[in-house]
């Protein structure tokens, strides 16, 4: 259910200018359901003012509190300046001690030479960076994707609104209605730009993901680009159109399968003395899609986790759910 947005009496340009400066809210003329948060915030502000007035009323206590506040502020400013200066000095000192850009250095040259000379035959990836992060340093990437997954779980614990996690019916109703109200999917500019850009971005992300072993890119960046393509789709055509194919079941299934595949494949390699899985994908031909040994499937696994995580963050931040929760909507 969508309501028409009112622009108010003053011209839209001035309103936008004021909103950018933080003076007023363009959407000040909201329907009742969407304004619930506003009212509670104003009440909170009045509460704070009342407390301040009470403190001011008892003159001695007010003076003490004000003096404490002022003292803390001075202390805070001095400590902030000192720690900032110390941090800047430390960083400048460290950067000054680094080897010059592009120069040979006896501490690093051994590892670099090994990677550049033997990287292709040992890992099977033409793009040495992909070979590094998914073969030599695969354990780091494993930890990285699990960190992302854990972060998503934390966000879900904090922000997800389902039947067991609902603080109050009014709150959930207001957030649902807010999402419907601010949904820009009716906008003709958003729709046409989303149609043109969204598909191109998604295709580009898929290209980066599949060509990670041949050209710059790989799992993380490809997954992030695919995730932003999904975000543009959902911004242009509304959350409901993405819900049709991206449900919570698909999300959890994809993430779990990708993480489990990565863990099993790399765990096997670690426990068998880093000899690698046998695979039938030929190694290292520049330009060929099916080359690079185990790098391609690992790339796809990382990319899927990252894409799901990025869209999951957006969806949870926007309306506190991944996929549509039909039970919740029915209940309200």
Partner 1 sequence: MTLMEIFRIILLISLIICAVMVNTTKTLLQAVIIFMSYSSIMCLLWVIMESPDLAITEAAVGAGISGVLFLMTLKRLRAEDMDEDETEDRD
Residues from 189 through 208 that contact partner 1 (CB under 8 A): 208
CB of residue 322 to partner 1, shortest distance in Å: 14
Which of 2-10, 110-118, 248-256, 306-314 is the region at the interface with partner 1 (rule: CB under 8 A)?
A: 306-314
Q: Is residue 41 within the footprint of partner 1 (CB under 8 A)? A: yes
Q: At what angle do helices 248-271 and 138-159 cross, to 10 degrees?
A: 150
State how far Cα 316 lies from the chain centre: 10
Is 127 exposed, middle or buried (CB count within 10 Å of its CB: 0-12, 13-18, 19+)? buried
* Tokens matching residue 17: 């200018």
228 binds partner 1 (CB under 8 A): yes
User: Rounded to whole angstroms, how far apart are CA atoms 290 and 293?
Assistant: 8
Angle among Cα 138, 141, 143 to the nearest 5 degrees reads: 110
Q: Is 293 in contact with 138 (CB distance < 8 Å)?
A: no
217 counts as binding partner 1 under rule CB under 8 A: yes
230-259 residues in contact with partner 1 (CB under 8 A) are 231
Query: Least distance to partner 1 from the beta carbon of 313, Å?
Result: 6
48: number of Cβ within 10 Å = 10
Number of chain positions touching partner 1 (CB under 8 A): 32
Residues 2-21 close enough to bind partner 1 by CB under 8 A: 19-21
Q: Does 101 bind partner 1 (CB under 8 A)?
A: yes
Q: Does 25 bind partner 1 (CB under 8 A)?
A: yes
Contact partners, residue 234, CB within 8 Å, separation at least 6:
241, 242, 311, 314, 315
Nearer to partner 1, 228 or 321 (CB): 228
Closest CA to 235 of 196, 182, 177: 182
Q: Does the protein bind partner 1 through residue 220 (CB under 8 A)?
A: yes
> Of 166-185, which residues contact partner 1 (CB under 8 A)?
182
Per DSSP, the three-state class of 103 is: coil
Residue 303 binds partner 1, judged by CB under 8 A: no
The stretch near partner 1 (CB under 8 A) out of 56-64, 89-97, 247-255, 310-318 is: 310-318
For binding to partner 1 (CB under 8 A), which residues are involved?
Answer: 19-25, 37-38, 41, 45, 101, 127, 129-130, 182, 208, 216-218, 220-221, 224-225, 227-228, 231, 310, 313-314, 317-318
């Amino acid at each position: 259910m969508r309501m028409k947005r009112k622009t108010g009496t003053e011209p839209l340009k001035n309103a936008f200018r004021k909103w950018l400066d933080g003076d007023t809210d363009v959407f000040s003329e909201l329907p009742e359901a969407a304004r619930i948060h506003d009212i509670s915030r104003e009440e909170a502000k009045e509460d704070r003012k009342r407390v301040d007035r009470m403190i001011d009323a008892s003159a001695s206590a007010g003076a003490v509190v004000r003096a404490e506040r002022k003292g803390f502020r001075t202390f805070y400013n001095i400590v902030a300046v000192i720690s900032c200066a110390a941090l800047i000095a430390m960083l400048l000192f460290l950067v000054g001690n680094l080897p010059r850009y592009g120069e040979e250095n006896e501490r690093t040259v051994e590892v670099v030479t090994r990677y550049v000379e033997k990287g292709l035959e040992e890992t099977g990836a033409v793009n040495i960076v992909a070979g590094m992060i998914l073969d030599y340093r695969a354990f780091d990437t494993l930890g990285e994707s699990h960190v992302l997954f854990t972060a998503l779980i934390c966000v879900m614990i904090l922000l997800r609104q389902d039947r067991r996690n609902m603080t109050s019916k009014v709150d959930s109703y207001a957030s649902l209605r807010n999402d419907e109200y601010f949904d820009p999917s009716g906008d003709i500019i958003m729709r046409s730009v989303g149609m043109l850009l969204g598909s191109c971005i998604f295709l580009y992300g898929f290209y980066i993901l599949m060509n990670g072993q041949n050209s710059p890119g790989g799992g993380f960046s490809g997954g992030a680009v695919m995730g932003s393509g999904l975000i543009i789709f959902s911004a242009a055509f509304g959350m409901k159109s993405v819900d049709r194919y991206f449900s919570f079941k698909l999300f959890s299934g994809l993430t779990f399968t990708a993480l489990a595949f990565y863990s099993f494949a790399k765990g096997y390699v670690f426990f068998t003395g880093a000899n690698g899985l046998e695979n039938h994908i030929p190694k290292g031909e520049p330009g060929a899609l099916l080359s690079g040994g185990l790098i391609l499937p690992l790339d796809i696994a990382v990319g899927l986790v990252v894409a799901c995580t990025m869209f999951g963050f957006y969806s949870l931040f926007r309306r506190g759910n991944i996929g549509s929760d039909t039970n919740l909507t029915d209940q309200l």
